[in-house]
Structure 1
Amino acid sequence: MNEEIEFILDTAKESMDSAIRHLEKQLVNIRAGKASPAMLGSVLVNYYGNQTPINQVANVNTPDGRTITVQPWEKNMLQEIEKGIMYANLGFNPMNNGDTIIINVPPLTEERRRDLAKQAKAEAEDAKIGVRSARKDANNEIKKSDDISEDLKKNAEIDIQQMTDKYVKKIDDMFELKEKEIMTV
């Protein structure tokens, strides 16, 4: 196979892998009922004037399936961490006992489960758009190339389409798994 085609295929594969990795990160942030430290992954805390991820200023633990505890490394950070959790708009109501912040994770209502499933579907669709964009870029690169024969161009386009189909299937499988996890009571 032509080196130029191989390079184009590798670039497309990297872009598609990137879309999958991004989807995985987004799906972890969508809660499915059970408490998890990852639920606070998007929380930023004002740490001496800098917006800092919560896991860099405190220990985040889950003693049971319904509770998240946040133990700050510096006691004076309790209010800032509490504010950060509220600003993140995750639907949690943090309670401060002077040493730690305790968050009770409420059970999901049917309506909230549907909303979360829709959110997961939207993330999956965004990932598919990323994969299709990588396919389009690769196909354009192949069409632009003058030193590749027409047969090789056609074969490369077929390879790119097969790769795209494989990644779209993977995204659909990831979404189905997350949807099942969200909808399970």
Structure 2
Amino acid sequence: MLNEIKKDAQARMAKSIEALRHALVKVRTGRANAGLVDSIKVNYYGSEMPLSQVASVSVADARSIVITPWEKQMVGAVEKALLASDLGLTPNTAGTTIRLNIPALTEERRRDLTKVVHSEGEDAKIAVRNIRRDANHQVKELLKDKQITEDESARTEAEIQKITDAAIKDVDDVIKAKEVELMSV
């Protein structure tokens, strides 16, 4: 029972860290990354579809992403979706190929993006702490119901704290890596 609580907490913390990594992919670093356009939805015959399901997305070089819609008539819809997105990039269309050029980041913009990364990291830490709180609450409920002893409760809470500390360290590592990536020119 206690092992299940610890494993559940550890799995949920790992998911929080993975969600942080996924969120940080969207933070533009001045280098082309196909993950920048993952969240864009395209109007495909009346329904909203992810861009990756209506076009091939590839990185041509360090500063450009090439998008080639599967169907010729989708070029306009893909272009419209890119313009409406919050990327702040203007698509260049040549026939059936759409190219997104990624401009170099200014020092000020890099600092702003670093703040965004730290904010995302803080959200992940809060999620990890909430998971710790939930796990400790479950342990206290078991103690209250007299299903475990006080020693088992204290030992389990200490182990949950170790798991939490490791997860927080992982979050810090992810943030530091993204910060280094952002600040490198």
TM-score normalized with structure 2 length = 0.95
> What residue in structure 1 maps to residue 58 of structure 2?
61
> What residue in structure 1 maps to residue 4 of structure 2?
7
Gapped regions of structure 1 (runs ≥ 5) = none
- Supply the AA of the counterpart residue of 2:43: N
Alignment counterpart, residue 108 of structure 1, candidates 93, 105, 108: 105
Matches within 5 A, 1:38-57: 38-57=35-54
Matches within 5 A, 1:158-177: 158-177=158-177
> What residue in structure 2 maps to residue 180 of structure 1?
180
Give percent identity, aligned residues only.
43
> What residue in structure 2 maps to residue 72 of structure 1?
69
* TM-aligned CA deviation for residue 102 of structure 1: 1.2
Partners of 1:177 and 1:20 lie apart in 2 by 13
Gapped regions of structure 2 (runs ≥ 5) = none
CA RMSD, 1 decimal: 0.9
- Supply the AA of the counterpart residue of 1:138: A
Q: Deviations over 1:1-54 (max 9, x none)?
A: xxx111111111111011011011111111211111111111110111111111
SS at match of 1:116: helix
TM-score normalized with structure 1 length = 0.95
Indicate yes or no: 2:87 matched with 1:90. yes
- Supply the AA of the counterpart residue of 1:123: E
SS at match of 1:107: coil
Partners of 2:78 and 2:116 lie apart in 1 by 26
Aligned residues: 182
Q: Deviations over 1:103-154 (max 9, x none)?
A: 1111111111112111111111111111101100000000011210000000
Q: Which consecutive aligned stretches of 4+ in structure 1 deviate over 4 angstroms post-superposition?
A: none
